[in-house]
Chains A and B, each alone.
Chain A
Amino acid sequence: MDFNRKEMDLLAIKIRKNILRTIASKGTGHVGGSLSIADTLAVLYGCVMNVDPADPGKKDRDLLVISKGHSGPAMYAALAARGYFDEGILDTLNKNNTILPSHTDRLKTPGVDMTTGSLGQGASLAAGAAFADQLNGSSNYTYLILGDGELEEGQVWEAALFTAHRRLTNLITFVDANGKQLDGPTDQVCSLGSIEKKFEAFGFHVISVENGNDTRQIYDAVMEARAEKELPSVIVLHTVKGAGVRKYAEMENCHSTTVNREELEAFYQELDAQADDGGKGTGKEA
């Protein structure tokens, strides 16, 4: 599907609203890392992935693996926005008998294809799915979203070695490089150095996206990755944790925090105001 800037930005705004609503229904949740990938999910679900909300299990669908499984609310927000299930269900996050657990679960939620929640494991799962597609001669893509803090897990790099060795060009990896993890800035907890150089050394085609909260830049990166037929691609998204909502973008630590129902209306207005200016001045600048 062609890229339409206006449509994608509106979808990203809708996803952010849904994220805030979802977390507000419980009062607390993984706000920061959900908001930081809203634009990526808008692009993937809006105009990139071969998926059908009316038939979540269709055989030739592309897969999205959110290895940073705590960003489940972002995925649910996107799935609801695309009509996989009724938006009212968003208000059941983490409540008894919900189909929306904090971490993504393929057996519980329509549209979720891989269960994650122990960091690093999604990298291998995604590589396995892409490897099976490669063996089957399938033209499907598998998309993988890793957190930057998650790169501290050794399994990510085992999977990276395998992905490069088997030249899984049908696996497109995103790193949500928002620079923060639960306990603080990644540079203070355990420095990652240059994420780009590390993946390059592992044999990846590296695409660095200066503003990982800009739908146009994300879309262009995905197209570049899909055109690359030699090496597997990684898209390093330089994002803002809590992007799109000033309160969270400016919060020192918004990994898991509260969203009050009373604040929702003001957040929605703040987001609606971004529809015309591409999000300028709202904490989405990289």
Chain B
Amino acid sequence: MRRRMMGEKEQERKHKVREKSMAGIKTSDKELRKVFAETLEALMEENPDVVYLEADLAGAIGTTGLFRSHPKQAFDIGIMEANMVGLGAGMSVKGKIPFMHSFGTFTSRRCADQTFLSGCYNRANIKLVGTDPGITAETNGGTHMPFEDMGIYRSFPEMTILDVAEPHLLKEIMKKMAGQYGVMYIRFPRKGKICYYEEKQTFEIGKGVILREGTDASILASGVEVAEAITAAEELQKENISVRVVDMFTVKPLDEELVLRCARETGAIVTAENHNKIGGLGSAVAEVLAEAGAVPFLRIGVPDCFGEVGDRKFLAEKFGLTAADIAGAVRKVVNKKGS
């Protein structure tokens, strides 16, 4: 049995597909991997230069059909992520636009030097796709649970990093990725979906989206933590704490202008991410805030430790990533503001 597929089927049986919608919004009835496969297919139909390279996880992300339907554009490379990134970079020099998928651990750690040199330094045009970021790796466990991927890539010059968990956002941002030159890394969970965008919502890489207005503090969140942030804000509303929620799906380049605006207009900031506290969204926001003159600030993220097996709820509680954790952090920064 292949090492990365252990327990997948069992996991499917045990856990119902996660589904959630915020404020009654339901933009998609498909889980994220389905959105990925369909959007990729549409992009390949639209532009013959868009290609898809897969490192033997098509069965896991539901793209096997693309090899048959698009034999000149979709390829299973085999279990060789470092080679895959180099191939994609070489193809991009000839004008191709490769999307390359594996689990997030393997499209970051495993091929970091290839992404740096063959990709970034070579000024290639490649789109790295890392699925099941952080706790969404669930029963694949600590070996497959990237809490470090954004930290690694955030130090690579000119690289774009996207942390996504919403179907409409995933679809729209993939189109932007195909149309914009450069080395990009997107992380999203394969399974489930959490909807909080209307179909009409548009996005720009590098621009955060204010999902909810508030005056006492701002939560800047990315990926699966956005939904937790919305829940936290709803809870805090009951305590008359008014919280702005921002989807900072672009972790790099960070929307610094919006970070500073949130600091200015709400006076306190909490970040929330499904990633090590070191190196990701919280670090990026901290850098901006520290240089601008501090406001009360706390980070919600994984406390510099390794992942482990477990379901998403258990892991979120274990690593302090729940809506309650975020709400607790907001209470602290709001209190500090007053002191």
Contacts and interface: CB of A to CB of B under 8 A. Distances in A.
A161 B117 CA distance: 22
B131 to A, nearest CB: 21
B51, B93, B95 pick with most chain A CB within 10 angstroms: B93
Contacts of B114: 118, 121, 124, 155
Interface in A172-204: none
Contact of B90 (A105, A124, A136): A124
Interface in A126-156: 126-133, 135-136, 154-155
A106 B122 contact: yes
Nearest to A116: B117
Interface stretch (A10-18, A87-95, A107-115): A107-115
Given A107-B123, A129-B91, A117 B117 contact: yes
A129 B123 contact: no
Interface stretch (B79-87, B201-209, B281-289, B318-326): B79-87
A161 B55 CA distance: 14
Nearest to B121: A115
Most B C-beta atoms less than 10 A away, residue of A107, A123, A124, A161 = A124
A162 B122 contact: no
Given A135-B72, A155-B82, A124 B87 contact: yes
Given A115-B117, A124-B86, A162 B91 contact: no
Given A121-B114, A158-B82, A161-B80, A127 B87 contact: yes
A125 interface: yes
A126 B86 CA distance: 8
A243 interface: no
B93 A162 contact: no
Interface residues of B, number: 27
A31 interface: no
Main secondary structure of the interface of B (DSSP, over half): helix
Contacts, number: 97
A37 interface: no
A162 B82 contact: no
B90 A162 contact: no
Nearest to B51: A135
A131 B77 CA distance: 12
Interface string B85-117: 111111111111000000000000000011001
The 9 closest A-B pairs by CB, nearest first: A128-B90, A124-B86, A132-B94, A158-B83, A128-B87, A125-B90, A158-B80, A115-B122, A129-B90
Given A124-B84, A124-B118, 15 more contacts: A106-B93, A106-B122, A116-B117, A124-B82, A125-B89, A125-B90, A128-B90, A128-B92, A128-B94, A129-B91, A131-B87, A132-B96, A135-B72, A158-B83, A162-B80
Interface of A: 63, 105-107, 113-118, 121, 123-133, 135-136, 154-155, 158-159, 161-162, 165
Interface of B: 51, 72, 77-78, 80, 82-96, 113-114, 117-118, 121-123
15 contacts: A63-B93, A105-B121, A118-B117, A123-B86, A124-B85, A127-B83, A128-B86, A129-B94, A130-B90, A131-B90, A131-B91, A132-B94, A132-B96, A155-B114, A159-B83
